[in-house]
Amino acid sequence: MFAVLKTGGKQYKVSSGDMLRVEKIAADAGEKVQFNDILMLGGDALVIGAPFVAGAAVQAEVVDQIKGDKVINFVKRRRKHGSQRTRGHRQKLTLVRVTEILASGAEATGVKAAVGSGSVATVVEAKPAKKSSAKPAAGGDDLKRLSGVGPALEKKLLEAGVTTFAQVAAWTEADVAAMDEKLSFKGRIEREGWIEQAKELAKG
């Protein structure tokens, strides 16, 4: 008998005795957990959920909390003298051993449900966000006239002290790289041709 379960946004086909690496769940090594989101059961008869199979579950024992293989994310700018940054990441995972597949009666087992570690974080009452007071300085230009600049990007520029077309027109390649990095523009300045546009707009 096999089951297709869903956890951590991914789907896994499992049978009893299988070892499985899933997105980190809130449980210690040796604990027994139960996956309740079952999409399909297979065996003598195929049962397909809509979207989940009612009463079905997969029980498993937590073997260990581990980390996945390191994933390298290399960020390189188009200009060779721009920033180059390598970031490493190891995803937190949980190693489990499937012990039993239940076709029904999952709600009455009393086994702890397998939930992601982020789901049990303490919920802090959110305070109303303060409205941004970023407004064009007196005599500032309407930066939204630059290609691709909307209210959100204009706010970022204003908060960075950029208020006029003349400032943008005077940017050097180093300034562009710094702004790209600081404001996460992802090459938009060069791609949209802001400097050339700003030079024309500054002439009035």
Q: Does residue 57 lie in a domain region?
A: yes
The answer to whether residues 18 and 61 belong to one domain is yes
What's the mean pLDDT when you consider all of the chain?
Answer: 82
Q: Does residue 134 lie in a domain region?
A: no
The answer to whether residues 44 and 110 belong to one domain is yes
pLDDT of res. 124: 38
The answer to whether residues 19 and 61 belong to one domain is yes
pLDDT tens per residue across span 143-180: 888 887 888 878 888 888 888 888 888 888 878 888 87
Banded model confidence at residue 82, pLDDT cuts 50, 70, 90 = low
3-state secondary structure the chain: CEEEEEECCEEEEEECCCEEEEECECCCCCCEEEECCEEEEECCCCEECCCCCCCCEEEEEEEEEEECCCEEEEEECCCCCCCEEEEEECCEEEEEEEEEEECCCHHHCCCEECCEHHHHCCCCCCCCCCCCCCCCCCCCCCHHHCCCCCHHHHHHHHHCCCCCHHHHHCCCHHHHHHHHHHHCCCCHHHHHCHHHHHHHHHCC
The answer to whether residues 107 and 193 belong to one domain is no
pLDDT tens per residue across span 10-67: 999 999 999 999 999 999 999 999 999 999 999 888 999 999 999 999 999 999 999 9
Q: Does residue 14 lie in a domain region?
A: yes
pLDDT, average across residues 110-139: 58
pLDDT of res. 39: 94
The answer to whether residues 109 and 12 belong to one domain is yes
The answer to whether residues 68 and 165 belong to one domain is no
Q: Provide the domain limits for residue 33.
A: 2-77+85-117
Q: How many domains does the chain have?
A: 2
